[in-house]
Amino acid sequence: MKSRLKRTLIWTWSAIVLGWAWAGATKLGYIPNWLGLEILCPWEKCVDCSDIVFSDYKVSEVLPESCCPWTYHRAMPTQKIPDDVFVGFKPIIYLYPEETSEVSVKLWKSENLLHTYPKYVDWWKVIANPDWTLIDTTNNRNLYALYWEWIIDEPSEINEWFVVKWEDTILFLEEKLATLWLDEREAEEFIVYWLPILENNKWNLIRFRTLEEINKIMPLDITPTPDTVIRVLMQYKPLDEYQEVFEQELTTPERNWFTVVEWWGEANNIVK
């Protein structure tokens, strides 16, 4: 009986000593904080990264591995985004040449890119066909559009909006996207992406950035030069109740010959 008690005490004290040794090594930063416990955050090595948005294409002064695990995140639509950070969600670029052509697309302000497909490195190069299909020249994969998301660092320049009740979202988008010269296929893709987000809010404050604003946010360089460029960027903000606004006036662009069409959306603090 005494020997069993002795062995139990030895194992107990060994476990305590090993636990303290592990906790000390974690606190000193010699081993990772696998459990993500705040009390084990290494002295002078753990950084609060709650307000830092990390990107594969942006070099940050703070490395993700130096973040306390419970404060690390990447910018995604389902995550909390800081009040002063705006993200352009799901920009899609369609290319409609009159004849099969090799087309290169360059994003001139690519330092804040979050996600791209195909993977963007300096530019995209594709074979664009009149039937709207694309072929990625790097791997011969068939595509229908180019996709990217990034952090927007340009505030709105115009204080004109629409106030839209959730149940009117479909009719509103169908009407306004037609005015902005998205065809029904493009408008459908826009609507099915944004409808679940917008209809979750009782009201939405919505506006569409001007072409001048969008070109300032993300200049595009496309070779050969398109005859028509249509860029639709919707901003929105959830509202709990109706409010009076100055309503935005939209103009319909021309759509001729080699046409490039892009649509995306912008929001901040999607999760409250």
CA angle 230, 183, 251 (to 5 degrees): 50
- Residue in 31, 30, 32, 29 with CA at minimum distance from that of residue 42: 29
pLDDT of residue 233: 95
pLDDT of residue 120: 94
Phi-psi label, residue 171: left if phi above 0, alpha if psi -120 to 50, beta otherwise = alpha
Count CB-CB contacts under 10 A for residue 112: 19
pLDDT of residue 79: 40
Instruction: Please give the structure tokens belonging to residue 202.
Output: 């009782």
CB of 162 closer than 8 Å to CB of 206: yes
Q: How far apart are CA 89 and CA 177, in angstroms?
A: 17
pLDDT of residue 151: 79
Above pLDDT 90, what percent of the chain?
53
Q: Which residues 6+ apart lie within 8 Å of 122 measured at CB? A: 106
Amino acid, res. 101: S
Query: What residue spans define the domains of the chain?
Result: 1-45, 86-267
Amino acid, res. 258: F
pLDDT of residue 82: 52
For the whole model, what pTM was predicted? 0.68
pLDDT of residue 58: 44
pLDDT of residue 40: 63
pLDDT of residue 44: 54
Low-confidence ranges of the chain (pLDDT < 70): 1-2, 5-6, 22-86, 157, 268-272
